[in-house]
């Protein structure tokens, strides 16, 4: 609990609670006619509008109540980016229950852990993912109902799950009039589990207040308005898709749900961006880079209409940003985590820096950007002292604020993850420069400790990935008999350039580093191990190559 | 107290309080270099930036604490739109104390009532307004210190107020480092008194939470960002200037304080708009119309750079909006009150209405616009039933939300002004059309009741004011022996057209009204009585002309 000063009483409606259903109520009242589009599994598009979405959300809330869903219940959802996921977010939270986000990409073991740890009583599953729940059904302790989500009404659902309801059949008889209660804004609206590179996934439960404030702030920072068309690319099971769909409802922007997609098949995403005249989307290099590869195969290059592409995770290579910029799309680097809802910083070019040389501006745009309002932050060195804002001194990012988690739910690891004054220790190593821009130099645990010095694994990765024949690269610190750790690089080359050598890569990156910072070895591999959310799994790399330098 | 549902506990920082000092802390950290400009009494400009403003706010908070100011204290301020007012808003609320807004345009009697009712202990006054406090000094019950605000450091302040401190002298020795406490967000940040057309002024006390949410919402709705230049025209003692200066700090926009100005001398405002390349401002027709008259005297017409002019009170004549539009400035009609912080609705053209014929769009833009998110609203007829949204049915606007007051402080009139479920009864008569746009047709008490029918006084006024030779017009319902009330119009003509007759005016407006809706008489006068905030005082008109029809 934060210590606070009590002042004079206000006369205002301070007990009026910030509830997430405000977004759809507002959109349906003020922008009933604005389109909401959702891509079906067969690639066709479902089109309706905020008024119709609101009516279906009302039906869904009534149906869930009839199934016995009560305030505080946890309802698991495993679905692609569809209008149904949107409806579920609003109806479940509109009862005062909690939407539990289930990431379909985690292991069976983790999936049943998440569902049981949350105590979910109902699970809603896309028909295309039913097998992922069937395989763990025996392990689930509290689940008493299943709801199958699909594009067309089906009379017979083929599943071993029981009892299994049909989403559309549940909705059909219900009234669209739902008596929205006012919900304590500190109640959970949704739960998410971090991907957990070590140990079991950790749970955070976002409050209604968190989401309302985050949506207002993100909408302000991105200047989202009714002229925008927002497309949901970040999966809605991953940090609630950053809540971009709520920004659309808040501002009356047209909203596009991208359905099911993969990094191997990005044409549908590119087609939607163009056909729906999307002006803002959100994703990560892991999807924006394959999209660019696809676009490069097109005869007629598309021109995007001032598209803003919010990009999380690590920065994409500057060449990717430039290629998009040439087509009228602006990659805007953002930074955060599941624990931060996620926005901690956003990279917009401050007008006062417009005079910088072009290349300096590009270098700046690769950084994580400026911290956002209402987030208190500190960069602390190993002794808990704030580091200078010189763009060089590295500190661990500590964050506190209305959309930063203050604990992990029912998890002993909370005590190590938060400071006494309530800051979340991100584990990210960052610098802050004189212009006010944060840069993530590494995960604290991935910094390579070599002979008493630190080497950023991310800087090496980015430098290698800029090589024209490199598809992916990951660098990890591997135990070394003499230097404690030394960098080892794993590199995936593209198909057209199998004659690239280790020396070529080293020569390519050499100008940017001191000699002792270069990897001792570069290994060409077919694939780099990844986590369930598509990040390089350094844990797996260190496991597989742990003896590499000691055996040489 | 609103009844609410309790859900599952959130893990997030829900106890992190929304405090207004967040705005300056953020601006000083992320946009330290961005300019803040303030017009001095002698017309010269003071220029500094958010970093320097923050340092002075720190000094001021330390100085006020040294004077004994404690959390909950009420500190009166009477000042023009200056950087000092900005500093006072932040420093006073940063202690957990309350800035009491004192309108210099109210009577001595009301002024001492306001100061005593609030229990203010310190008063900060512009040197140019000292006499307005001197004249009531004897009446003030709790004031123990005065602080004189002025442009240049002065050693001798000529005032009978005692003890009187000098603002700059107080600041000088203090440290700019201030230890900002976290303040309960439901504590009052500022207090304002309504102008009170009947009875004593009524008090509302805005909370920190109110202001933070209002600022976020207004910034989103107006798409304010770091490329903007905001100029504060609405007086900062009038509904805290709508908090436009906070929108600037939140978004890193350049900020211009307009200093002291009058409707008779608008050149300084116009000059500032042009010289500082202002992109957004806020005001009312009472100032935008005189500004236009001044601009029309210029040989070279200025071109504004997509200037958005938020305009409160009644709509300006469409000709004024068109004249501004021709110069690149967009008048955006907004609606609210001191009790609503103020934003209740905002008139932006929804993209779905872009196809409407031009004249229909102009007609739409004269309305009060679409209700904003997070404000619950109802239009209720005389029986407490919601009226249809048909653009014709008139109801009283009832509002509830995080920035709507839920009571008047220490005032028995509260019990009549709020409904049982916590809505504020605005006293405004409105319609809601099929597009979602509110229109204020009148004050409920100013609707003219004639032979069992209602006539909108505002519609008549707007029609008359569209006449090219009319400067101002006000229409009031005057008791009538046969019809209960009949409209009487008071009209101020411009200097060049003294031969305009009553019949000319009636002929001019006739096409827009049924015959029985027309005023029985039009009187040409030199001036129309106004309230302290510049609105037509129908109370005074009815008082002066109460027997007009009964004596005829």
Q: Alpha helix locations (H) across B366-421? A: 414-417
Distances (CA, A) of A487 to A462, A468, A474, A552, B23: 14, 22, 10, 14, 43
Give B321's DSSP letter: H
Q: Categorize the per-residue pLDDT at B156 as very low, low, confident or very high, splitting at 50, 70 and 90.
A: low
- Are B404 and B424 contacting, i.e. CB atoms less than 8 angstroms apart? yes
Tokens (6 digits) for B281:
């401002």
Nearest Cβ partner for A404 among B13, B189, B422: B13
Q: Which of A52, A200, A425, A449 is catalytic?
A: A449
User: pLDDT of B407-440, one tens digit each?
Assistant: 999 999 999 999 999 999 999 999 999 999 999 9
Catalytic site includes residue B194? yes
Give rounded-to-5 percent helix, strand, coil for chain A. Answer: 35, 25, 40
By percentage, how much of chain A surpasses pLDDT 90?
Answer: 81
Query: Which of A2, A5, A61, A101 is best to mutate for the B interface (most B CBs within 10 A)?
Result: A5
Q: Categorize the per-residue pLDDT at A154 as very low, low, confident or very high, splitting at 50, 70 and 90.
A: low
**The predicted structure's pLDDT at residue A187:** 98
Q: Please give the Cα distance from B551 to B366 (Å, whole number).
A: 37
Nearest Cβ partner for B30 among A22, A401, A436: A436
Q: What is the overall mean pLDDT for chain B? A: 93
Chain A residue numbers with beta carbons less than 8 Å from the beta carbon of B217 are 216
User: pLDDT of A62-111, one tens digit each?
Assistant: 999 999 999 999 999 999 999 999 999 999 999 999 999 999 988 899 99
Is pLDDT at B155 greater than 60 in this prediction? Answer: no
DSSP helix/strand/coil, A440:
strand
Is pLDDT at B446 greater than 90 in this prediction? Answer: no
Q: Categorize the per-residue pLDDT at A9 as very low, low, confident or very high, splitting at 50, 70 and 90.
A: very high
Q: Which of B194, B314, B338, B405 is catalytic?
A: B194
The distance in angstroms from the start CA to the end CA of chain B is 53
- Segment B304-327 mean pLDDT: 90
- Are A116 and A142 contacting, i.e. CB atoms less than 8 angstroms apart? yes
Work out the minimum CA distance from B549 to partner chain A, whole angstroms.
43
Would the CB atoms of B30 and A402 count as touching at under 8 Å? Answer: no
Q: Which residue has the tokens 């490069």?
A: A296
State phi, psi for A183 to the nearest 5 degrees: -110, 135
Would the CB atoms of B207 and A14 count as touching at under 8 Å? Answer: yes
Chain A residue numbers with beta carbons less than 8 Å from the beta carbon of B8 are 72-74, 97-98, 187-188, 205
Nearest to B143, CA basis, from B167, B106, B115, B103? B115
Q: Categorize the per-residue pLDDT at B203 as very low, low, confident or very high, splitting at 50, 70 and 90.
A: very high
- Segment A270-289 mean pLDDT: 95
Work out the minimum CA distance from B9 to partner chain A, whole angstroms.
5
Work out the minimum CA distance from B187 to partner chain A, whole angstroms.
5
DSSP string, B282-320: EE-HHHHHHHHHHHHT-SS----SSEEEEE-SSPPPHHH
Query: Which of B1, B6, B11 is best to mutate for the A interface (most A CBs within 10 A)?
Result: B11
Chain B residue numbers with beta carbons less than 8 Å from the beta carbon of A351 are 226-227
Is pLDDT at B548 greater than 70 in this prediction? Answer: yes
Tokens (6 digits) for B87:
């500093």
- Segment B119-145 mean pLDDT: 96
Q: How many CB pairs lie under 8 A apart between chains A and B? A: 283
Chain B residue numbers with beta carbons less than 8 Å from the beta carbon of A9 are 186-188, 205, 409
DSSP helix/strand/coil, A334:
strand
Is pLDDT at B539 greater than 90 in this prediction? Answer: no
Would the CB atoms of A18 and B422 count as touching at under 8 Å? Answer: no
Is pLDDT at A360 greater than 90 in this prediction? Answer: yes
Catalytic site includes residue A194? yes
User: pLDDT of B511-538, one tens digit each?
Assistant: 888 888 999 999 999 999 988 767 888 8
By percentage, how much of chain B surpasses pLDDT 70?
Answer: 97
Nearest to A137, CA basis, from A163, A118, A98, A100? A163
State phi, psi for A388 to the nearest 5 degrees: -65, 150
Would the CB atoms of A373 and B16 count as touching at under 8 Å? Answer: no
Chain A residue closest in CA terms to B17: A402
Tokens (6 digits) for B86:
């900005």
- Segment A419-442 mean pLDDT: 94
- Are B97 and B64 contacting, i.e. CB atoms less than 8 angstroms apart? yes
Work out the minimum CA distance from A236 to partner chain B, whole angstroms.
19
Q: Please give the Cα distance from B27 to B49 (Å, whole number).
A: 9
Would the CB atoms of B404 and A370 count as touching at under 8 Å? Answer: no
Tokens (6 digits) for B280:
């957004």
User: pLDDT of B34-53, one tens digit each?
Assistant: 999 999 999 999 999 999 99
**The predicted structure's pLDDT at residue B198:** 62
**The predicted structure's pLDDT at residue A305:** 81
Q: Which of A454, A502, A539, A544 is catalytic?
A: A454
Q: Are strands A164-166 and A145-149 parallel, antiparallel or unpaired?
A: parallel
DSSP string, A247-274: HHHHHT-EEEE-BS-BTTB-HHHHHHHH
Nearest Cβ partner for B96 among A5, A187, A370: A5
Burial class from Cβ neighbours inside 10 Å (0-12, 13-18, 19+) for residue A245 reads buried
Q: Are strands B203-207 and B188-193 parallel, antiparallel or unpaired?
A: antiparallel
Residues 6+ apart with CB under 8 A from B273: B231, B281, B302, B304, B307
Query: Which of B214, B220, B407 is best to mutate for the A interface (most A CBs within 10 A)?
Result: B220
Q: Categorize the per-residue pLDDT at A3 as very low, low, confident or very high, splitting at 50, 70 and 90.
A: confident
Nearest Cβ partner for A5 among B31, B182, B217: B182
Would the CB atoms of B186 and A9 count as touching at under 8 Å? Answer: yes
- Segment A470-480 mean pLDDT: 92
Q: Which of A194, A251, A266, A431 is catalytic?
A: A194
- Segment B69-89 mean pLDDT: 98
Would the CB atoms of B13 and A401 count as touching at under 8 Å? Answer: yes
Would the CB atoms of B210 and A74 count as touching at under 8 Å? Answer: no
Chain A residue numbers with beta carbons less than 8 Å from the beta carbon of B73 are 8
Chain B residue closest in CA terms to A400: B13
Q: Categorize the per-residue pLDDT at B462 as very low, low, confident or very high, splitting at 50, 70 and 90.
A: confident
Rg (CA), chain A: 24
Tokens (6 digits) for A380:
């602390």
**The predicted structure's pLDDT at residue A153:** 57
Is pLDDT at A480 greater than 80 in this prediction? Answer: yes
- Are A60 and A53 contacting, i.e. CB atoms less than 8 angstroms apart? no
Query: Which of A4, A13, A120, A221 is best to mutate for the B interface (most B CBs within 10 A)?
Result: A13
**The predicted structure's pLDDT at residue A156:** 64
Q: Which of B87, B174, B185, B339 is catalytic?
A: B339
State phi, psi for B301 to the nearest 5 degrees: -70, 135
Q: Categorize the per-residue pLDDT at A531 as very low, low, confident or very high, splitting at 50, 70 and 90.
A: confident
Q: Categorize the per-residue pLDDT at A357 as very low, low, confident or very high, splitting at 50, 70 and 90.
A: very high
Q: Which range has the worst mean pLDDT, A409-423, B259-273, B446-460? A: B446-460
Is pLDDT at B152 greater than 90 in this prediction? Answer: no
Q: What is the overall mean pLDDT for chain A? A: 93
User: pLDDT of A163-191, one tens digit each?
Assistant: 999 999 999 999 999 999 999 999 999 99
**The predicted structure's pLDDT at residue A535:** 81
**The predicted structure's pLDDT at residue B72:** 98
Q: Which range has the worst mean pLDDT, A194-208, A332-346, B200-214? A: A194-208
**The predicted structure's pLDDT at residue A62:** 98
In this structure, the number of other CB atoms found within 10 A of the CB of residue B13 comes to 26
Nearest to B454, CA basis, from B544, B373, B382, B517? B517
Nearest Cβ partner for A406 among B12, B350, B373: B12
User: Please, what's the b/e burial string for B157-167 (b: 16 or more CB within 10 A of its CB; e: otherwise)?
Assistant: bebebeebbbb
Would the CB atoms of A7 and B71 count as touching at under 8 Å? Answer: yes
**The predicted structure's pLDDT at residue A445:** 80
Beta bridge partners of A164: A146
Catalytic site includes residue A445? no
Chain B residue closest in CA terms to A422: B13
Would the CB atoms of B6 and A72 count as touching at under 8 Å? Answer: yes
Angle ∠(A294,A296,A300) on CA atoms, nearest 5? 105
Chain A residue numbers with beta carbons less than 8 Å from the beta carbon of B341 are 12
Chain A residue numbers with beta carbons less than 8 Å from the beta carbon of B189 are 7, 10
Chain A residue numbers with beta carbons less than 8 Å from the beta carbon of B203 are 11
Chain B residue numbers with beta carbons less than 8 Å from the beta carbon of A13 are 210, 400-406, 422
DSSP string, A126-164: EGGGHHHHHTTGGG-SS--EEEEE-SS--S----S-SSE
């Amino acid at each position: 609990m934060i210590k606070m000063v009590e002042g004079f009483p206000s006369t205002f409606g301070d007990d009026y609670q910030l509830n997430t259903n405000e977004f759809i109520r507002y959109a349906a009242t003020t922008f009933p006619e604005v389109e909401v589009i959702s891509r079906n599994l067969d690639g066709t598009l479902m089109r309706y509008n905020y008024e119709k979405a609101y009516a279906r959300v009302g039906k869904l809330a009534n149906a869930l109540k009839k199934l016995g869903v009560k305030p505080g219940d946890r309802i698991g959802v495993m679905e692609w980016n569809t209008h149904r996921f949107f409806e579920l977010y609003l109806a479940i939270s509109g009862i005062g229950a909690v939407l539990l986000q289930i990431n379909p990409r985690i292991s069976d073991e983790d999936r049943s852990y998440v569902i049981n740890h949350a105590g979910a009583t109902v699970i809603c599953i896309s028909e295309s993912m039913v097998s992922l729940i069937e395989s763990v059904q025996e392990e689930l302790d509290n689940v008493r109902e299943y709801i199958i989500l699909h594009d067309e009404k089906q009379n017979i659902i083929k599943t071993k799950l029981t009892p299994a309801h049909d989403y559309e059949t549940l909705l059909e008889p219900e009234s669209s009039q739902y008596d929205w209660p006012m919900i304590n804004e500190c109640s959970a609206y949704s739960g998410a589990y971090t991907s957990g590179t070590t140990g079991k996934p950790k749970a955070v439960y976002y409050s209604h207040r968190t989401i309302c404030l985050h949506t207002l702030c993100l909408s302000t920072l991105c200047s989202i308005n009714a002229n925008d068309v927002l497309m949901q690319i970040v999966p809605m099971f991953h940090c609630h898709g950053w809540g971009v769909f709520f920004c659309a409802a808040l501002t009356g922007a047209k909203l596009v749900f991208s359905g099911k997609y993969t990094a191997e098949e990005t044409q549908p995403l590119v087609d939607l961006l163009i056909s729906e005249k999307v002006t803002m989307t959100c994703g990560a290099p892991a999807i924006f880079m394959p999209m660019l590869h696809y676009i490069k195969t097109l005869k007629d290059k598309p021109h995007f209409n001032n598209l803003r592409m919010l990009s999380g995770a690590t920065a994409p290579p500057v060449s990717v940003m430039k290629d998009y910029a040439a087509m009228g799309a602006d990659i805007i680097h953002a930074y955060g985590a599941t624990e931060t809802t996620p926005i901690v910083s956003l990279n917009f070019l401050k007008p006062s820096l417009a005079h910088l040389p072009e290349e300096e501006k590009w270098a700046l745009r690769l950084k994580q950007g400026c911290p956002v309002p209402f987030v208190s932050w500190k960069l602390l060195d190993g002794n808990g002292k704030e580091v200078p804002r010189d763009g060089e001194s590295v500190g661990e990012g500590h964050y506190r604020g209305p959309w930063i988690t203050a604990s992990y739910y029912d998890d002993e690891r909370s005590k190590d993850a938060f400071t006494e004054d309530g800051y979340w220790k991100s584990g990210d190593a960052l610098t802050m420069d004189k212009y006010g821009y944060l840069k993530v130099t590494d995960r604290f645990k991935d910094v390579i400790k070599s002979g008493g010095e630190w080497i950023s694994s991310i800087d090496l990765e980015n430098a290698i990935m800029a090589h024209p024949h490199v598809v992916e690269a990951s660098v990890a610190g591997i135990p070394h008999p003499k230097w404690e750790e030394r960098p080892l690089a794993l590199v995936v080359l593209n198909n057209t350039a199998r004659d690239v050598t280790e020396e070529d890569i080293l020569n390519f990156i050499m100008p940017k580093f001191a000699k002792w910072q270069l990897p001792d070895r570069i290994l060409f591999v077919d694939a780099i191990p990844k986590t369930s959310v598509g990040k390089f799994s350094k844990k797996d790399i260190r496991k597989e190559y742990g003896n590499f330098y000691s055996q040489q």
